[in-house]
Amino acid sequence: MIISELKPLEELQQALSSCDKLFLVGCAACATACKAGGEEEVFKLQEWLATQDKEVTGSVVIDEACHIMRAARDLRHHRNAVQDADALVVLACGSGIQSISSNVEKRVVGGLNSMFLGNVRRFGYYEEMCSLCGECILNETAGICPVTTCPKGLLNGPCGGMTDGCCEVDAEIECAWRLIYERLQAQRRQGVFARRVPPKNWSRRRQPGRYRLTNGGR
């Protein structure tokens, strides 16, 4: 899921300084799961806005804010409250915020910073394991992504900063290449170590990404 966190309140205060009436939008998918933009957080935001002398005209938690059409539909159901507001405050990832901003003429204020595509290690603890690079090497690296979990994204083994099998960037973190090496050894496979990996094709990750299923998918 997309991991996001509430922006610093001072930043929100500033962003909302010229708006008195606000409509609030949350997201029932990722932002709810990482406790940044669900029912509970929308309610807390409403309470905080009251202390800032702002009026909340209404709120909605959209099933998946990143779904542009669904966001449009949900906003239509709250047409009057939206109309009444000076701005919409969105507690969703950057993708969700833009679903909303592409559906309304009004000013949209994002309340969250989006961080990464995260795995849940345990409740409230998320780790980035995939950076959506468009050219997956996991089948050769024993299911551990060096593009993401090596801070340098190296493709041919560890850098000179590996110390006792740990990462130079954070000594608490095991070197991604060490983990790949150990797991491949346990599986008695050479995997990625059998070849020199050529430079990555970053054109696969050209932004903005666009993808269209053809023939209804494969």
Partner 1 sequence: MSQLAQQLASGRFVVTAEIAPPKGTNLVSALAGARKLQGVTAVNVTDNQGANMRLSSLALAAQLQQSGTETILQLTCRDRNRMALQSDLLGAAAFGIENLLLLSGDHSKFGDHPDARPVFDLDSVQMLDMANGLMAGFDMAGKRLDGVPRFFPGAAVNPAAEPFELMFQKVTKKVASGARFFQTQSVFERGSLERFMAAMAPLRAPVIAGVLLIRSAKMARFLNANIPGVKVPQPLIERLECAGDPMAEGLAIARETVGWARELCQGVHLMTLGHEDHIPEILA
Q: Given the rule CB under 8 A, which residues bind partner 1?
A: 151-165, 168-169, 177-178, 181, 193, 196-200, 202
**Contact residues for 43 (Cβ-Cβ < 8 A; gap 6+):** none
Identity of the residue, 50 or 136, whose beta carbon is nearer to partner 1 in the bound complex: 136
Q: How far is the CB of 136 from partner 1 (least distance, A)?
A: 18
Q: Nearest approach, Cβ of 182 to partner 1 (angstroms)? A: 8
Minimum CB distance to partner 1 smaller for 47 or for 170? 170
**What is the closest distance, in whole angstroms, from the C-beta atom of residue 209 to partner 1 in the complex?**
19
Q: What is each CA distance from 155 to 16, 150, 193, 197, in whole angstroms?
A: 45, 9, 10, 6
Contact 103, 93 (CB under 8 A): no
Strands 55-62 and 21-27: parallel
In whole angstroms, how far apart are CA 218 and each of 137, 211, 212, 214, 215? Answer: 21, 14, 12, 8, 7
Query: Under a CB-based contact definition with an 8 Å cutoff, are residues 78 and 58 in contact?
Result: yes
The values of phi and psi at residue 196, to 5°, are: -85, 120
Least separation in angstroms between residue 53's CB and partner 1 is 35
Nearest distance from C-beta of residue 126 to partner 1, angstroms: 20
Nearer to partner 1, 68 or 137 (CB): 137
Distance CA 45, CA 204 (A): 39
Please state the closest distance from residue 216 (CB atom) to partner 1, in A.
Answer: 37
**β strands within 2-149, DSSP E:** 2-6, 21-27, 55-62, 87-91, 107-110, 112-122, 125-128
Q: Toward partner 1, which CB reaches closer, 143 or 151?
A: 151
CB nearer to partner 1: give 9 or 169: 169
Between 50 and 169, CB nearer to partner 1: 169
Of 13, 3, 17, residue with least CA distance to 45:
13
